[in-house]
Amino acid sequence: MDRNLLRTYFGTEQSSVAVRLLTAGRLAAELVEGNLRTISYDGLEVLRAISYVVRDKDWGTYSPVIDELVVRESDNEFTVTYRAACRGSADQNLTYRAAIHGTEAGVTFDVVAEPETDFLTNRCGFCILHPIVDLAGTPVTVEHTDGEREQSVLPDLIEPWQPFKDMRAISHQVDPGLIAGCRMEGGVWEMEDQRNWSDASYKTYVRPLALPWPYVMPRAVPDRQTITLSIEDLRQQRPAASSPPRQEAVEIFLEPASGVAPKIGLVIAPEEIDATLAHIERLQQAGPQVLLCHFDPTAGHGRDAMMGFAKVAAAYPAEMVLECVVPCHEPHEGELERVAELVRGAGLSLSAIAVSPSMDRQSTPPGSTWPECPPLEEVYASAQKAFPDIRLGGGMFSYFTELNRKRVPVESLGFVTHCTCPIVHAADDLSVMQSLEALPFITRSARAFIGDMPYWIGPSTIGMRQNPYGSRTMDNPNNERIAMASWDPRQDGLFAAAWTIGYAVRIIEAKLEVLTIGALTGPFGLLRDGPRTGQVRPVFHAASGLSSLAGKELAGCRSSRPSDILAIGVIDEQGRPTIWAANVTDRKQRVRIVSENSLWKMTTLDQHSVESGSLGSLGTTMNVRNGAIEMEPFAIARLQAS
């Protein structure tokens, strides 16, 4: 792929990770950066990944340098060997040798690691990822380190803590009569429900979190781990091996639905106030119904920030909501009253305030001690006293994980909120798009304990706004795909536009009141900066499109292949549907809208129109008959029934 197309899709000239398909009879796997991904049998996904992962002391992931790579393949088996090196600071170096052997009966993945120095890490070893769609809530057999075998099920609602500990092996049914078993040797494994972080997987990882971390791997002491995947095919009739079928068009079925599309919000940080005011006409074009004003006294925010928010409110009359961090360094009653005085002094009219104790922005992993924090009931009461005439929201300014582990007293609140971020654990393109699969599980799990409370999500963007799991977000000076980085280059490409439409689709069943999808300016913004300041990113059109749907009656849009195409629709006053669709793949897709409407007007943003789109116009509208269209990789499209 040429550099211009890379920038158009991903906002960076860094190529996507190289993928090599390995096959052994009916078994197939992708070799990606030395690890195995999308392991399948007869085309059925068995495991999402088997990966050897090395973390630093902030849960950042090393990118190993691989050499001496040798791959051998025949019809019935494959082998892979290589050497890898993880280089941190001058005194943090580790190398390992890997050997992979695959046959139709399974895969063995063996690694011997040897630190060249005393090596400080939070985790070093294998992670096994099980998929979630069609597997959540199904039976598994877990063998523990003491030999005991446990018959259980994978969690359906998202489990806040580890569903299984002290693991030696786990097996599950891939298909009736098709059993996959995974044995782990060389350590102690446990499972976490990665849907908490919007990962589309259950993760089985080495070294229990109850043990101290970070820890030191001693210099020159080898550490060996082995994963063995076994496939047992007991099916009476096995499908004949054949070439992949021709990919049919994705069908979008228009169906009855209830409810309305959520309001769309954008967040404004104090450091982005001036840039926002400088581009207020773009804010008007984007049309968000809610502006979330981030206010954090621990970061030095004070009178100037509040005056700036008031200026934005005067220029763009949206619902102004204060996202207020409560330091809890002093009695919270006084801290919140001082915030209220700043609001009154600035003449800022708020429609709502959401509050969170500062310490709740940091995660408390299993086995860790919870930080001292005032009871949330008392914090919420102080907030309501300081702001007696507006709605009070609470929850977590971090992610669903933290809300799931510390469930707030909803009876004290007018709405519940949390964020998500898809690059906590992995930042490759496939993992980020697959994170959309986890969103319905998140919202259904949240609804299980918040009931029918008004529900807000956001700001949720690809980049990480704040790191609950370490001392900082990761730097990204070379514009790469990096886990836990605040700046993600895909924000500048079509990728983010498709991901944002997909996000709105995946949360629609939860009947959200507000979805906040980024900012106007800055690293999470809809506008470009640098030499192209003021031009719009592709995600601008996704945001403005979703804003145009807010409050309108929903039209059900069921995709026959939601892993490829996602769509959200509304019905206008004349009963005509408007649909926003996204191609969430790197392949061209044929799409057909299945409805009573035969004539549609379509406007598309793709690699052919993205340059003109950067000036603010979505593109040229064309007539489409019978709802049959083609969508380029990561394209978004608006379809209006005529």
Tokens read off for 180: 């996959």
Residue type for position 615: L
**Mean pLDDT throughout 289-318?**
98
Between CA 284 and CA 289, with CA 287 as vertex, the angle to 5 degrees is 125
Helix 538-549 with 494-506: angle, nearest 10 deg: 30
User: What's the CA gap between 326 and 355, in Å, rounded?
Assistant: 7
Give the whole-angstrom CA distance, residue 219 versus residue 131.
36
262-550 to CATH, choices 3.50.50.60, 3.10.129.10, 2.40.50.140, 3.20.20.80: 3.20.20.80
pLDDT at 532: 87
Note whether 266 and 543 are within 8 A (CB).
yes
pLDDT bin (cut points 50, 70, 90) of residue 307 is: very high
pLDDT of residue 533: 87
Question: CA separation (Å) from 51 to 34, 68, 108, 380, 382?
Answer: 8, 18, 12, 43, 47
Q: What is the pLDDT of residue 246?
A: 57
Mark 165-194 as b/e (b = at least 16 C-beta within 10 Å).
Answer: bebbbbbbbbeeebbbbbbbebbebbbbbb
Class of domain 9-233: mainly beta
Strand partners, 399: 419
Q: What is the mean pLDDT of residues 168-176?
A: 98
3-class state of residue 106 by DSSP = strand
Q: How many CB atoms lie within 10 A of CB 292?
A: 26
Q: What is the DSSP string of 426-482?
A: --SHHHHHHGGGGHHHHHHHHHHHHTTS-EEE----SS-SS-TTSSSPBP-TT----
Residue 440 to residue 429: CA distance in whole angstroms: 20
Q: Could you report the per-residue pLDDT of 611-640, keeping only the tens digit for each?
A: 999 999 998 899 999 899 999 999 999 999
Alpha carbon distance 294, 309 (integer Å): 9
Assign residue 323 a region: left if phi > 0, alpha if psi is -120 to 50, beta otherwise?
Answer: beta
**DSSP labels, 615-631:** TT----EEEEETTEEEE
* C-alpha distance across the termini of the chain, in Å: 37
Contact of 293 with 268, CB cutoff 8 Å: yes
Q: Where are the domains of the chain?
A: 9-233, 262-550, 556-641
pLDDT the model gives residue 145:
98
pLDDT > 90? residue 375: yes
- Render pLDDT for 211-249 as a digit per residue (tens, 0 to 9): 999 999 999 999 999 999 999 999 988 777 655 555 799
Check pLDDT > 70 for residue 391: yes
CA atoms within 13 A on the CB side of 108: 8
Question: Tens of pLDDT along 246-300?
Answer: 579 999 999 998 999 999 999 999 999 999 999 999 999 999 999 999 999 999 9
Residue 430 has pLDDT above 90, yes or no: yes
What is the average pLDDT across 394-408? Answer: 97
Please name the CATH architecture into which domain 556-641 falls.
Sandwich (2.60)
At 241 the pLDDT is 60
Q: What is the mean pLDDT of residues 181-208?
A: 98
What is the token pair recorded at 210?
């109850």
Q: What is the mean pLDDT of residues 584-603?
A: 96
pLDDT at position 530 is 83
pLDDT of residue 244: 54
> What's the mean per-residue pLDDT of the chain?
96
- pLDDT for the residue 84: 99
CA–CA separation, 447 vs 400, rounded Å?
12
Q: What are phi and psi of 105, to 5 degrees?
A: -85, -10
Residue 407 has pLDDT above 80, yes or no: yes
User: What confidence score (pLDDT) does residue 624 get?
Assistant: 95
What percent of the chain is modeled with pLDDT above 70? 99
Q: For the segment 318-349, what is each residue's pLDDT rounded down to a tens digit?
A: 999 999 999 999 999 999 999 999 999 999 99
Residue 518: is its pLDDT beyond 80?
Answer: yes
* Burial class of residue 4 (count of CB atoms within 10 Å of its CB; 0-12, 13-18, 19+): exposed
